């Protein structure tokens, strides 16, 4: 299996090269040239496997330059029982709300209590093996822009990994207090964390610019280093996300929620479009998914795009209680557009150039038609998000975080608008304790809120009677190591200084 760039189809690389490099030299994203086909017999065989077994099958079909032994080692280390608290890192929980069955895919049982663990526990293993195949002896510098969860998950995954250094940038006022504390207290001799004055889009733009500036890459090369990425622009981040949609379908069949071959819908709260793109890629392999329901918060650029075919980032930016979705430039949408345009790299490059120069672009009528057929876009504001958290807790005794609540709310909008009763899997992306203040305000609005994050955790725990995940509870007495703040236009010099490069 080979990969090429969304903006230059002539650039063809192996999976190890795609993972090592992270992003194409032209700024495009690496995509597989073809997708493996999973027929009913293939899915039947996967029903009998556990999560690790399903993961090994998917990885082996996409990473054909890895040996079976290499894939086996990566998967076994990444999804070890002690890391995820059980044999299934991505379990389904079943609820019923207003007569609608909710099949909630809990993706937050890993070391940092967010769905990013599903990919970022295996990416370091994939990357180190990829580096040996392609750039043996070089140190990979992992640059990360985060809206909250990717940063901590990447730091935890890459801490003290040989031949790697990781630098994480986050918006200084754009993450929750728990997310900020998780990052700033990170252990590891190869980690650096820095806030930027700006929002996530500023951080993401800054990282992409550093990646594609030849003079910076040359300075790294002179010091036996190269850049790579842990954001979902890296194929090694996106591929593991395909696995949990395949696995959730198998679990739905095994639980008797659907018959093998039946279709299901998927609801994903998303800002950067990576998580929902993974579900779409799973469908291209043959996974029977009927509708992709894209849930946004007040930063509803994706909702508008799905409904109109016009992507326009020229709008007000909102800082919300679901900060991991506070994004106006959805990087992974580029991969979807590449596929829907018939793998037309020139067309995609034109759209991406227009986004940079004008802040907007409009896709063709043919692409619009496919998006309208496959996708539904909806959004809700903070008040609706809190109302959904409250409703889920009062009626189902289920405590969900501020991103999962957006997904549930938009799913209700979808059913009301369409009447579609297809069994549906809802991606739950984080522990509610990562956003304790907003969740507590939702379920107990008259409670006095402390200024101390861990006092809030204690009150939420007392009221909800739900366990506090150990990785979060253990942060209480950890002292911050990092406090740097930089301007977004000074990120390049910060990176070089952090690496000790003049």
CA angle 393, 301, 267 (to 5 degrees): 40
CA-to-CA distance for 392 and 404, rounded, in angstroms?
11
Residue 290's pLDDT is 98
What is the phi/psi pair of residue 68, to 5°? -60, -35
- The contacts of residue 6 (CB under 8 Å, 6+ apart) are 24, 28, 29, 30, 31, 334, 335, 337, 338, 345, 348, 349
Residue 409's pLDDT is 98
Residue 98's pLDDT is 86
Residue 320's pLDDT is 96
Residue 100's pLDDT is 87
CA-to-CA distance for 421 and 98, rounded, in angstroms?
13
Regions of the chain where pLDDT drops below 50? none
Residue 432's pLDDT is 98
Local structure of residue 448 (DSSP, 8 states): P
Residue 99's pLDDT is 85
- Six token digits for residue 63: 């990473």
């Amino acid at each position: 299996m080979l990969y090429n760039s969304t903006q230059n189809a002539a650039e063809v690389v192996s999976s190890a090269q795609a993972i090592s490099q992270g992003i194409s030299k032209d700024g495009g994203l690496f995509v597989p040239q073809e997708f493996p086909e999973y027929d009913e017999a293939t899915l039947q065989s996967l029903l009998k496997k556990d999560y690790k077994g399903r993961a090994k099958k998917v990885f082996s079909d996409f990473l054909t330059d890895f040996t079976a032994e290499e894939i086996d080692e990566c998967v076994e280390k990444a999804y070890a029982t002690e890391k995820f608290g059980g044999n299934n890192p991505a379990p389904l929980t079943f609820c019923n709300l207003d007569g609608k069955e909710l099949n909630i895919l809990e993706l937050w049982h890993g070391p940092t209590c967010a769905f990013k663990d599903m990919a970022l526990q295996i990416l370091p293993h994939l990357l180190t093996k990829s580096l040996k195949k392609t750039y043996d002896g070089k140190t990979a510098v992992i640059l990360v822009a985060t809206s909250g969860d990717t940063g901590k998950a990447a730091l935890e995954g890459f801490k003290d990994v040989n031949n790697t250094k990781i630098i994480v940038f986050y918006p200084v006022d754009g993450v929750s207090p728990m997310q900020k504390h998780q990052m700033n207290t990170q252990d590891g001799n190869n980690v650096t964390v820095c806030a930027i004055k700006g929002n996530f889009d500023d951080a993401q733009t800054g990282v992409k610019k550093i990646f594609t500036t030849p003079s910076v890459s040359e300075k790294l090369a002179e010091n036996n280093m190269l850049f790579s990425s842990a954001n979902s622009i890296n194929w090694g981040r996106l591929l593991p996300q395909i696995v949990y949609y395949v696995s959730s379908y198998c679990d739905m069949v095994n639980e008797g929620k659907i018959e093998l071959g039946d279709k299901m819908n998927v609801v994903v709260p998303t800002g950067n479009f990576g998580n929902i793109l993974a579900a779409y890629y799973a469908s291209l392999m043959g996974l029977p998914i009927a509708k992709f329901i894209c849930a946004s918060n007040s930063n509803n650029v994706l909702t508008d795009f799905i409904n109109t075919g016009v992507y326009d980032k020229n709008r007000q930016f909102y800082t919300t209680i679901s900060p991991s979705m506070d994004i106006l430039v959805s990087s992974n949408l580029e991969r979807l557009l590449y596929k829907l345009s018939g793998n037309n790299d020139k067309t995609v490059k034109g759209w991406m150039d227009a986004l940079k120069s004008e802040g907007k672009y409009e896709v063709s009528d043919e692409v619009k038609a496919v998006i309208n057929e496959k996708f539904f876009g909806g959004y809700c504001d903070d008040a609706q998000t809190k109302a959904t958290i409250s409703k889920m807790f009062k009626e189902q005794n289920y405590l969900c975080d501020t991103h999962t609540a957006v997904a549930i709310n938009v799913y209700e909008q979808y059913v009301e608008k369409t009447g579609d009763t297809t069994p549906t899997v809802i991606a739950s992306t984080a522990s509610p304790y990562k956003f304790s203040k907003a969740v507590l305000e939702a379920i107990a609005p008259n409670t006095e809120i402390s200024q101390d994050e861990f006092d809030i955790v204690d009150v939420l725990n007392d009221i909800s009677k739900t366990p506090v995940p150990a990785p979060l509870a253990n942060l209480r007495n950890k002292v911050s190591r990092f406090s740097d703040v930089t301007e977004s236009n000074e990120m390049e010099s910060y990176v070089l200084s952090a690496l000790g490069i003049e």
